[in-house]
Structure 1
Amino acid sequence: MTTSTEVTDVEIARQLASADVSNLSVAKRLGVPWGRVDEVRQRKGLETFQRGRRAVEASWEEAVSRRVKPVEDGHAEWTGQTYPRGTPMLSWRGRAETAYRAVFRIRHGREPQGNITHAPSCVREFCVAGEHLEDRVLREERRCREGGS
């Protein structure tokens, strides 16, 4: 188990990226004091957790757009929930999937075939920029263009 001094502010901020996550839940999950989590939220200017009903998004597109934050060099950061190892996840109307699959479907207008991976040009961990994601079909097309197998 990690101690509270081993948990970085970046990790706390990643856990707080969604307004749907309370300071207390992050503090318990990471084993850090609530006050430290609150300080990170304030310093980073992150939205405050609100109890009660939240507006339900009308579509996958709206659900995704509320949770994607464009960052430098064309990358995009996921501000929603994540699986335990950090993989971005999206739950909408009782259906959960990786944010990669939802973003890919919106960007490319079709269901992804096989696993979603980052294009070789994208080196940012957990980037959710649609143009940086590839499914099996896009990987095969890229390899053909590059003259590989």
Structure 2
Amino acid sequence: MSQVGASQADIVALLGQGLSNTAIASQLGCDRHRVAVIRRAQGLPDVVAQPLTLEQKWSALTRALDGGHLEWCGEKVGPSESPVMRYKGRSYSPTKIAFTIQHGRPPEGQVKPECGMRHCVAPTHVEDQPGRTRLRDQLWLLRGGHARQTHCRRGHDQSVHGRNLPDGYPYCGACHQRAPEADPNEPQGAPCPS
């Protein structure tokens, strides 16, 4: 099944560039077993596969955009087209890899971009749950809000369940109630804005 024009000289030239049998066969449209026979006849060793590290594969599947954003060019799953990367038989979250690259540790909870770009995977743009809570608490305080209470109206510990909307507005992640300090004029038990 070799392509007309895929001469032995063409194959030898690509062997000299260090390409694998499969890569040469794919490039020239010929049978990889023919490439292997020619490799052996030339006395050349098989190419040892140099697998990419997890971070190298992640980097190869990203594309830089304006504003320091990184677009995920790899696999996306589900209706929301969530980025996913498969590596050595396992699935990984590209945003979690980005977080680990930036912080040198695995994330806690969900990792999301805080830059406003959906599915951005730039390491400097993603935060884990504690980091997101810390940043949004700071935003709330800068906007004139009060410090988060230790417990919500229903008694949930806010060091565990405290969350914030992207604009910093605090709420309880367990019962989805507005934090008491969010609006003192708000009736007790008012639902968190969606």
Task: Give yes or no for TM over 0.5.
Answer: yes
Letter in 2 for 1:95: R
The structure whose Rg is larger is 2
* Residue-by-residue CA offset, 1:20-49 (whole Å, 9 max, x unaligned): xxxxxxxxxxxxxxxxxxxxxxxxxxxxxx
CA drift at 1:56: 6.2
Structure 1 unaligned spans of 5+:
1-49
CA drift at 1:66: 0.5
Counterpart mapping for 1:7-86 below 5 A: 57-85=51-79, 86=81
CA drift at 1:126: 1.4
Measure, in 2, the Cα distance between the counterparts of 1:123 and 1:144.
17
* Residue-by-residue CA offset, 1:39-92 (whole Å, 9 max, x unaligned): xxxxxxxxxxx799xx66431111111111110111110111111231111111
* Structure 1 ranges of 4+ moved more than 4 A: none
Alignment of 1:138 with 2:131, yes or no, is yes
Question: Hey, what does 1:115 align to over in structure 2?
Answer: 110
Identical counterparts, % of pairs: 28
Structure 2 unaligned spans of 5+:
1-25, 33-48, 142-146, 149-194
Measure, in 2, the Cα distance between the counterparts of 1:130 and 1:77.
11
How high is the TM-score relative to the length of structure 2? 0.44
How high is the TM-score relative to the length of structure 1? 0.56
CA RMSD of aligned residues (A): 2.3
Instruction: Note if contact 1:57-1:63 (Cα within 8 Å) is conserved in structure 2.
Output: no
Measure, in 2, the Cα distance between the counterparts of 1:68 and 1:75.
10
Letter in 1 for 2:121: V
Question: Hey, what does 1:103 align to over in structure 2?
Answer: 98
